């Protein structure tokens, strides 16, 4: 609880709130200026279904199943290496999974509130009526859940393992690109998802790992 109270009073949280406001403004400007549609038409593949192994690999970086496997692998590695033992190893993996899981859930919740549909052939955005499947995100695109999960996971790795920051974030960017290339999302959907993911990880990781420079040390000391 002390970590949560400190977070609520921190300048860092205020900075991320400003980032959120800036993102909303950028999405609005992209819509009214036509930039969103123009970028989609330029970046989307003609057949709308890029299926190369590389693009599919980048896409699943935004899957919670991918991050479940990564969390499991890290937990097992810590246990086998002796860095942490028993319940601490399982906890290490579960905590690493928390940011992408939370970011994905938050993205789905925002979709239900915003209700903007995925790209269509029209020059305007389409929105789903509140009376039309009010609790289903099917067909909704803002923000991209894949981008939210991908960036939350990558940001978590970047904070816990700084040497992985660049490759992890590059793969997350690649994941976002695949969502546009397939015609499944507007660029603003991906931007919003990326911000949701980055902010979620930036806020949650310090709470889960107060000593985030060396997040596994406490587990090792407890043995």
Q: What is the pLDDT along the chain (223 residues), one digit of tens a residue?
A: 555 555 545 566 677 678 778 888 888 888 877 889 989 988 888 665 656 788 888 999 999 999 999 988 887 777 666 655 555 556 667 788 999 999 999 999 999 999 999 998 787 889 999 888 889 999 999 999 999 999 999 999 999 889 999 999 999 999 999 999 988 999 999 999 999 999 999 888 888 877 655 444 444 433 3
SS (H, E, C) the chain: CHHHHHHHHCHHHHHHHHHHHHHHHHHHHHHHHCHHHHHHHHHCCCCCCCCCHHHHHHHHHHCHHHHHHHHHHHHHHHHHHCCCCCHHHHHHHHHHHHHHHHHHHHHHHHHHHHCEECCCCCCCCCECCCCCCCCCCCCECCCCHHHHHHHHHHHHHHHHCHHHHHHHHHHHHHHHHHHHHCCCCCHHHHHHHHHHHHHHHHHHHHHHCCCCCCCCHHHHHHC
Total domains, the chain: 1
Task: Give residue for tokens 């509130």.
Answer: 113
Whether residue 131 lies inside any domain: the answer is: no
User: Do residues 193 and 176 make contact, with C-beta atoms less than 8 angstroms apart?
Assistant: yes
With vertex at residue 98, the alpha carbon angle to CA 212 and CA 148, rounded to the nearest 5 degrees, is 100
Spatial neighbors of 126 by CB under 8 A, at least 6 apart, are: 116, 117, 120
Q: Judge whether 164 lies within some domain.
A: yes
- Assess if residue 68 is contained within a domain: no
**What does the radius of gyration of the chain's CA atoms come to, in whole angstroms?**
19
Query: Using CA atoms, how far apart are residues 137 and 93, in angstroms rounded to an integer?
Result: 28
pLDDT of residue 222: 37
Distances (CA, A) of 84 to 80, 109, 204: 8, 35, 22
Residue 29 included in any domain: no
Q: Rounded to whole angstroms, how far apart are CA atoms 186 and 171?
A: 19
Residue 176 lies in a domain: yes
pTM recorded for the entire structure? 0.83
Other C-beta atoms lying within 10 Å of the C-beta of residue 21 = 10
Give the pLDDT confidence score for residue 141 in this predicted structure: 92
* Chain centre to alpha carbon of residue 39: 21
Does residue 15 sit within a domain? no
The answer to the question of residue 38 being in a domain is no
In-domain check, residue 33: no
CATH number at residue 173: 1.20.144.10
Its domain, for residue 59, covers 51-63+99-119+137-208
Pick the closest to residue 114 from 86, 140, 148 (CA basis).
140
> Which residues neighbour 47 within 8 Å (Cβ) at sequence distance 6 or greater?
none
């Amino acid at each position: 609880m002390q970590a949560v109270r400190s977070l609520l009073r921190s300048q860092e949280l205020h900075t991320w709130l400003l980032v959120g406001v800036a993102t909303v403004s950028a999405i609005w400007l992209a819509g009214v200026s036509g930039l969103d549609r123009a970028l989609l038409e330029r970046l989307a593949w003609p057949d709308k279904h890029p299926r190369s192994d590389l693009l599919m690999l980048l896409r699943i970086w935004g899957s919670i199943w991918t991050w479940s496997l990564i969390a499991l692998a890290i937990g097992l590695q810590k246990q086998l290496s002796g860095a942490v033992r028993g319940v601490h190893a399982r906890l290490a993996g579960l905590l690493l999974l928390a940011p992408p899981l939370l970011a994905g859930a938050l993205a789905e919740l925002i979709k239900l509130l915003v209700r903007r549909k995925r790209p269509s052939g029209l020059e305007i955005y389409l929105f789903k009526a509140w009376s039309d499947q009010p609790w289903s995100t099917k067909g909704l695109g803002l923000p991209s859940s894949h981008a939210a999960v991908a960036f939350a996971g990558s940001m978590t790795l970047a904070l816990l393992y700084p040497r992985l920051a660049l490759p992890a974030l590059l793969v997350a960017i690649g994941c976002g690109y695949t969502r546009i290339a397939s015609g499944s999302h507007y660029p603003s959907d991906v931007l919003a998802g990326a911000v949701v993911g980055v902010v979620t990880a930036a806020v949650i990781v310090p709470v889960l790992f107060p000593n985030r420079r060396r997040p596994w040390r406490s587990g090792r000391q407890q043995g």
